């Protein structure tokens, strides 16, 4: 049964806007309500179609009024901030944790809410040398993330589990997304890899699993309109190493010793790329999730593999180190090599003729040396 009234939080961001636009184009859905604290950019607004935008803060009880008055039956919670970009860590935590608590309180009170979709993250699995290489939905972080986005996400999932106990009649889908990438989305990793020189942790090379933005929207759409309940990892097939991703995008990696990562993080923040040292440490070890549940139980096969998603992102990104440059250099080196080889064989034919008839006799040489 398709939902009648869908509420999407965080609609002013690219992914929220894309999902709202997708839902709005579905005639089976009566109303799509988008909520955010800031109005969407004009470009996003144009795409939103018949989506009704409500400027409300999910941290305030006013969200309950929105849910009640529109008798919302499906809530998609994606207003979770992954970086302390605006207002610092304190306001990020407040938005993430207090915002989720307010939203869930409103959902619990409302009799109309039948379904909740949470956009969570695979960061909840942590990233440490003691974690298994590939995480399934049943695994937990061996070393619980101590702060930042991962900690917030763990808290949020905890509140959602508590909500599930109190409202067992509500179907809940928790989607644990890997890093998102694509030509249009402004994700954390996308902006990180857009820097011409990408700082990495010296001596570490993370395994990176990506998800294309189109696949992310499709999974969110299917979770909103479908009836899957439970937790599912959402990631593309295959992985790349961080160093490999940087090379494929034609970027220059700058390995930084662990002690200096903090100051490099401050430097990139000044350059407008909000990349916290915490997330950089995540990229020391990387994180890969098992996607069997996504394919077999949820029933979605991502259209892009990790490598294809990266290649699609690379289309929009002028490389710093052009692959043609490398090809040219390799071709030049090969030509030089051919000439040297020709020279050497010519030399050998000249030298060899003179050389071969009189090989040095070891015994004779010993006499001469003496």
Partner 1 sequence: MPEARVIPLRPDEDPPPPTQEPAPSWEEQLAGGLEFLRRRLTGEYDTDEFGFDPDLTDHVLLPFLRPWFERWFRVETQGLENVPDTGGALVVANHSGTVPVDALMATVALHDEHPASRRLRLLGADLVFQFPFVGALARKMGTTLACNEDAERLLSSGELVGVFPEGFKGVGKPFSERYTLQRFGRGGFVSAALRTGVPIVPCAIVGAEEIYPMLGNARTAARLLGLPYFPITPTFPLLGPLGAVPLPSKWFIAFGEPIETASYGAAAADDPMVVFNLTDQVRETIQHSLYRLLLQRRSVFS
Residues touching partner 1, count (CB under 8 A): 51
The correct pick among 21, 195, 240, 293 for binding partner 1 (CB under 8 A) is 240
The correct pick among 45, 66, 98, 202 for binding partner 1 (CB under 8 A) is 202
Site membership for partner 1, residue 327 (CB under 8 A): yes
Burial of 365 (0-12, 13-18, 19+ CB in 10 A): exposed
Between 131 and 278, name the residue whose CB sits nearer to partner 1.
131
Which span (48-56, 165-173, 263-271, 336-344) binds partner 1, by CB under 8 A? 336-344
The nearest distance, CB 108 to partner 1, in angstroms, is 35
The nearest distance, CB 234 to partner 1, in angstroms, is 16
- Strand-by-strand arrangement of the 52-55 sheet: 52-55, 31-36, 5-9, 74-77, 115-121, 171-177, 230-234
Site membership for partner 1, residue 277 (CB under 8 A): no
The nearest distance, CB 246 to partner 1, in angstroms, is 8
Between vectors from CA 142 to CA 141 and to CA 144, what angle results, nearest 5°? 60
The correct pick among 43, 241, 260, 267 for binding partner 1 (CB under 8 A) is 241
The correct pick among 49, 87, 132, 230 for binding partner 1 (CB under 8 A) is 132
Q: Which residues contact 230 (CB under 8 A, 6 or more apart)?
A: 137, 172, 173, 174, 293, 297
In this structure, what token pair is assigned to residue 12?
């002013």
Q: Contact, 116 vs 77, CB < 8 A? A: yes
Site membership for partner 1, residue 323 (CB under 8 A): yes
Q: Provide the mask over 75-114, with x wherever binding to partner 1 is found by CB under 8 A and - wherever it is not.
A: ----------------------------------------
Site membership for partner 1, residue 176 (CB under 8 A): no
Site membership for partner 1, residue 260 (CB under 8 A): no
DSSP notation for 236-289: -SS-EEHHHHHHHTT-EEEEE-GGGHHHHHHHHHHTT----HHHHHHHHHEEEE
What is the three-class DSSP state of 313? helix
Between residue 35 and residue 74, which ones bind partner 1 under the rule CB under 8 A?
Answer: none
Residue tagged 């869930």 (tokens): 104
Site membership for partner 1, residue 281 (CB under 8 A): no
CA pair distance 220, 185, nearest whole angstrom: 15
The correct pick among 238, 256, 277, 295 for binding partner 1 (CB under 8 A) is 238
CA pair distance 298, 294, nearest whole angstrom: 5
Site membership for partner 1, residue 348 (CB under 8 A): yes
Site membership for partner 1, residue 341 (CB under 8 A): yes
- Strand-by-strand arrangement of the 207-208 sheet: 134-135, 286-289, 207-208, 240-241
Q: Contact, 178 vs 122, CB < 8 A? A: yes
Between 131 and 215, name the residue whose CB sits nearer to partner 1.
131
Which span (58-66, 84-92, 107-115, 234-242) binds partner 1, by CB under 8 A? 234-242
Q: Contact, 177 vs 122, CB < 8 A? A: yes
Site membership for partner 1, residue 344 (CB under 8 A): yes
CA pair distance 200, 205, nearest whole angstrom: 8
Q: Express the helix, strand and coil content of the chain in percent, nearest 5 each.
A: 50, 15, 35
Interface ranges with partner 1 (CB under 8 A): 129-134, 136, 139, 201-205, 207, 209, 238-241, 243-248, 258, 285-286, 288, 321, 323, 326-327, 330, 333-334, 337-338, 341, 344-345, 347-348, 351-352, 354-355, 360, 365, 368-369
């Amino acid at each position: 049964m398709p939902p009648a009234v869908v509420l999407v939080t965080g609609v002013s961001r690219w992914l929220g806007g894309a999902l709202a636009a997708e839902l709005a184009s579905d005639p089976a859905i009566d109303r799509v309500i988008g909520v955010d604290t800031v109005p969407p950019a004009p470009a996003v607004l144009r795409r939103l179609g018949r989506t009704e935008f409500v400027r409300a803060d999910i941290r305030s009880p006013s969200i309950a009024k929105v849910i009640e008055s529109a008798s919302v039956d499906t809530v998609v919670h994606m207003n979770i901030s992954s970086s302390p970009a605006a207002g610092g860590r304190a306001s990020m935590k407040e938005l993430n944790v207090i915002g989720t608590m307010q939203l869930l309180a409103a959902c619990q009170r409302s009799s109309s809410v039948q379904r909740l979709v949470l956009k969570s993250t695979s960061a909840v699995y942590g990233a440490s040398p003691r974690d298994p290489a590939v995480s399934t939905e049943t695994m937990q972080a061996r070393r619980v993330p101590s702060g930042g986005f991962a900690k917030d996400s763990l808290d949020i999932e905890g509140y959602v589990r508590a909500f599930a106990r109190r409202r067992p009649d509500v179907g809940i889908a928790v989607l644990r997304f890997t890093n998102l990438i694509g030509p249009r989305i402004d994700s954390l990793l996308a902006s990180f890899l857009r820097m011409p020189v990408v700082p990495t942790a010296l001596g570490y090379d993370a395994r990176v699993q990506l998800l294309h933005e189109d696949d992310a929207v499709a999974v969110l759409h299917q979770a909103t309109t479908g009836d899957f309940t439970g937790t599912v990892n959402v990631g593309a097939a295959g992985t790349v190493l961080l160093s490999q991703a940087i090379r494929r995008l034609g970027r220059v990696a700058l390995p930084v010793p662990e002690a200096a990562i903090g100051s490099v993080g401050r430097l990139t923040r000044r350059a407008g790329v909000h990349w916290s040292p915490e997330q950089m440490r995540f990229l020391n070890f990387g994180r890969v999730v098992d996607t069997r549940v996504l394919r077999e139980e949820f029933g979605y096969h991502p259209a892009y593999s990790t490598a294809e998603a990266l290649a699609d992102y690379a289309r929009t990104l002028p490389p710093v180190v052009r692959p043609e440059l490398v090809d040219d250099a390799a071709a030049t080196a090969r030509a030089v090599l051919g000439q040297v080889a020709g020279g050497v064989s010519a030399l050998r034919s000249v030298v060899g003729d003179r050389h071969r008839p009189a090989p040095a006799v070891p015994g004779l040489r010993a006499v001469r040396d003496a």
